[in-house]
Amino acid sequence: MKPRIGVLTSGGDCPGLNAVLRGVALAAEKLNFEVLGFLDGFEGLLPPGRFIELNRRSTSGIMPRGGTIIGTTNRGHFVAKIGAGDRAEVAPEIIEDARRMLNEHRVEALIIVGGDGSMTTALQLHEAGINCIGVPKTIDNDLEATAMTFGFDSAVAAVTDALDRLHTTATSHKRVMVLEVMGRHAGWIALHGGIAGGAHIILIPEIPFDYDKICEALTMRDVRGSIYSLVVVAEGAKPCHGQVVMQPNEGGEYRMGGIGHVVAGEIAVRSGRETRCTVLGHLQRGGAPTTLDRILGTRFGVKAVRLVSERQYGSMVSYQNYQVRHVPIADAVNRLRLVPPEGELIQTARDVEISFGD
């Protein structure tokens, strides 16, 4: 009987997840492992276990597909994250149930593909004696332990494309067009997408903004002869003396989003300019992954299998200095990589006349 590896995808979906699964399946086949893909994130670990076999056949042709063929969730019995830097424990009986089910199905190691919250859960499973390998995933690209995550490049491409399209209406109608993008704690998507899409003002969580400065930047553009403007706002951006905008949902939780409309409203009132807002939302997370995300996802999946074969349990795949390496999961959780306000990228943006509203 071949030894078995389990794999699951957890948290928000992200372009490149299927490339990881394909990488896992093919690399495992080469090393003589069988792979079970657990369905709907950690929930598939609950007895009796819900999974499909991942192999050459079942992963054939999935590379260009967005999302994940084994499903995911950012809710359920295993949610261990209650906010940035916070940690809640997964109930011990749930961990025991998962362990029993993995033993029954002869799964020797579990590859967990997920973001910061999912890595917190992975760490708990590892500490409880389940052999785990982490693969980092977030379109926000805000994990300190890896220089890059797959999904980010695809999200930035969606923002760039949206800005290219908004340019048309902005110039034709001489309007201010505001685009709200994802990025709860870090402004990487807004910054990269904004620079690539030719935005004139970029508002990110790391640099609190001032509406007077935004209006000054718009006036400066008038003076220079440009009577339209593109503004990119990360969902976690906030004014110097204000709060992050959040919306309550049915479950009594709060979800970020809404700052785009607030910023557009303030610009319209304060500057008298015709202003519109577009919220890009989940369009950033959907569709085919870019070339870069397909390659990075494949490399991460293959590396995860190699780490299983080397029994490097408790490790997370990490991208550093153009190499795919690994770090302890314990060193990776709860450490966000934010945009350095004095960094080279911000300075580059300022040098091409982008304002951060500060």
Asked if residue 285 binds ligand F6P (CB under 6 A), the reply is yes
Which residue has the closest beta carbon to ligand F6P?
A: 182
Minimum CB distance to ligand F6P, residue 75 (Å): 8
Cα(200)–Cα(214) distance, rounded to whole angstroms? 10
Give me the phi and psi of 16, to 5 degrees please.
110, -10
Stretch that binds ligand F6P, among 81-89, 176-184, 205-213, 332-340 (CB under 6 A): 176-184
Kindly tell me the sign of the dihedral angle through the C-alpha atoms of 84, 189, 235, 73.
negative
Minimum CB distance to ligand F6P, residue 10 (Å): 12
Asked if residue 255 binds ligand F6P (CB under 6 A), the reply is yes
Q: Under rule CB under 6 A, how many of the chain's residues touch ligand F6P? A: 13
Question: Contacting ligand F6P (CB under 6 A), which of 7, 10, 12, 154?
Answer: 12
Q: Which of 13, 40, 116, 140 is catalytic?
A: 140
Asked if residue 238 binds ligand F6P (CB under 6 A), the reply is no
**Active site includes 140?**
yes
Q: Using the CB atoms, write b or e for 70-96: b if 16+ within 10 Å.
A: bbbbeeebbbbbeeeeeeeebeeebbe
Which residues ranging from 23 to 42 are in contact with ligand F6P (CB under 6 A)? none
Going by C-beta distance under 8 Å and a sequence separation of 6 or more, which residues neighbour residue 68?
9, 13, 17, 18, 21
Going by C-beta distance under 8 Å and a sequence separation of 6 or more, which residues neighbour residue 117?
10, 11, 74, 79, 80, 81
Q: With beta carbons less than 8 A apart as the criterion, state whether 332 and 139 touch.
A: no
Quote the tokens at residue 326: 């690994």
Asked if residue 253 binds ligand F6P (CB under 6 A), the reply is no
Stretch that binds ligand F6P, among 53-61, 97-105, 181-189, 222-230 (CB under 6 A): 181-189
Asked if residue 169 binds ligand F6P (CB under 6 A), the reply is no
Cα(347)–Cα(345) distance, rounded to whole angstroms? 5
Residue (3 or 286) nearer to ligand F6P, CB: 286
Active site residue ranges: 140
**Contacts to ligand F6P by CB under 6 A:** 12, 74, 115, 138-140, 182-184, 235, 255-256, 285
